[in-house]
A and B are shown apart, each in its own frame.
Chain A
């Protein structure tokens, strides 16, 4: 019986000398959201691995920056790198995340990066 062959070097070949996430540049098409847009983080189911924090799920944020293109970590962890998406740097107000965050520090924020398929327009 033949052993299955796993191509364990395709990422190395793609990223060497270019960098990751730079090696996925130009593969995601047009970004769906713009800087300044209000978006909500969807609470999608994940199998074993995610990099979308529990505390931002369901919360509304403002797009601060469109940062780079990459397969989402949830797919890349399974070596599924065909679908490349835009990543957005989102700013959440602390008072939106934590109900008892003091009002006098209402300016405080959290910034974090989330891939496009987790986001919906508000």
Chain B
């Protein structure tokens, strides 16, 4: 007889904890529906749409830009137009057909060079190019990352395993208005003769945010170490 027969196990809670933000979101959503700003069906459609999004189109954009100098020029000049070729229509592809305040329609593709490395953050909230990258990772939205990346970028990048020499300029792109950003990294050595599919595989979400650089053989995001915030200069 197993020990499960002689006592009751209470069922596990459906959710561990409902945060204040979730309560707030629900309250605002219900008010908006009551006021007729949108319907429950609109909300369902939008939520379902959001869950179909991911970083694959952006990886494809980078791979195409590595292979085609003309396309690279277009991507850097007009990210919205370049997105069309990888199947993302910023202006009329979404259910609302104009973007939402958290997904405005101005994509800028930040081109890295051997002496310039971009990394993206939103210090004020959590702006993220969701139509082309999907939902942001949890760490991207934490105050820890948002505060420290503009203050001690090299230390934060080192935590992600990215250590850059002094002659490389680190440029932190603070996404604070209506532009959204992805990083177009330098094509790594050892990828000569690769196809677009092969190249797209090594362009991970972390590479597109800028906290990692592409490496042959690395096709997944590194696990983010959870560390307490340390002020490196003894503040």
Contact with A along B192-235 (1 / 0, CB 8 A): 00000000000000000000000000000000000000000100
Q: Is A1 part of the contact surface with B, judged by Cβ < 8 Å?
A: no
Q: Is A8 part of the contact surface with B, judged by Cβ < 8 Å?
A: yes
Q: Is B53 part of the contact surface with A, judged by Cβ < 8 Å?
A: no
Of A18, A100, A104, the contact of B233 (CB 8 Å cutoff): A100
User: When the two chains form their complex, are residues A12 and B171 in contact, meaning their CB atoms are under 8 A apart?
Assistant: no
Q: Is A34 part of the contact surface with B, judged by Cβ < 8 Å?
A: no
Q: A17-B97, A19-B80 are in contact. Are A104 and B90 (CB under 8 A)?
A: no
Contact with A along B102-123 (1 / 0, CB 8 A): 0011101000000000000001
B124 partner residues in chain A, CB cutoff 8 A: 51, 53
Q: A21-B106, A53-B123, A108-B171 are in contact. Are A73 and B177 (CB under 8 A)?
A: yes
A80 partner residues in chain B, CB cutoff 8 A: none
Q: State in angstroms the CA–CA spacing of A91 and B173 once bound together.
A: 9
| Distance (whole angstroms) from the CB of B105 to the closest CB of chain A | 3
Contact residues of B: prevailing secondary structure: loop
Measured CB to CB, the nearest residue on chain B to A22 is B105
Q: State in angstroms the CA–CA spacing of A53 and B173 once bound together.
A: 13
| Distance (whole angstroms) from the CB of A104 to the closest CB of chain B | 5
Q: State in angstroms the CA–CA spacing of A110 and B88 once bound together.
A: 28
Q: Is B99 part of the contact surface with A, judged by Cβ < 8 Å?
A: yes
A70 partner residues in chain B, CB cutoff 8 A: 177-178
Q: A19-B105, A98-B151, A108-B153 are in contact. Are A53 and B176 (CB under 8 A)?
A: yes
Q: State in angstroms the CA–CA spacing of A18 and B91 once bound together.
A: 6
Most buried by B among A51, A87, A98, A108: A108
Q: Is A81 part of the contact surface with B, judged by Cβ < 8 Å?
A: no
User: When the two chains form their complex, are residues B105 and A110 in contact, meaning their CB atoms are under 8 A apart?
Assistant: no
| Distance (whole angstroms) from the CB of B210 to the closest CB of chain A | 12
User: When the two chains form their complex, are residues B171 and A21 in contact, meaning their CB atoms are under 8 A apart?
Assistant: no
B172 partner residues in chain A, CB cutoff 8 A: 108-111
B20 partner residues in chain A, CB cutoff 8 A: none
B123 partner residues in chain A, CB cutoff 8 A: 53, 55
B233 partner residues in chain A, CB cutoff 8 A: 100
User: When the two chains form their complex, are residues B91 and A22 in contact, meaning their CB atoms are under 8 A apart?
Assistant: yes
Q: In chain B, residues 162-202, which have Cβ atoms closer than 8 Å to a Cβ of chain A?
A: 166-179
Q: State in angstroms the CA–CA spacing of A22 and B99 once bound together.
A: 11
Q: Is B154 part of the contact surface with A, judged by Cβ < 8 Å?
A: yes
A20 partner residues in chain B, CB cutoff 8 A: 98-99, 104-105, 178
Q: Using A55-B150, A109-B170, A110-B172 as known contacts, list a sample of 9 further A-B pairs with CB atoms less than 8 Å apart, ordered by residue number in A.
A: A12-B96, A15-B99, A16-B98, A19-B104, A23-B98, A100-B233, A104-B166, A108-B170, A112-B173
Interface pairs (23), CB distance under 8 Å: A15-B99, A16-B92, A16-B98, A19-B80, A19-B91, A19-B98, A19-B99, A21-B106, A51-B124, A51-B176, A51-B177, A55-B123, A67-B106, A68-B178, A73-B177, A98-B151, A107-B167, A107-B169, A109-B169, A110-B173, A111-B171, A112-B175, A113-B178
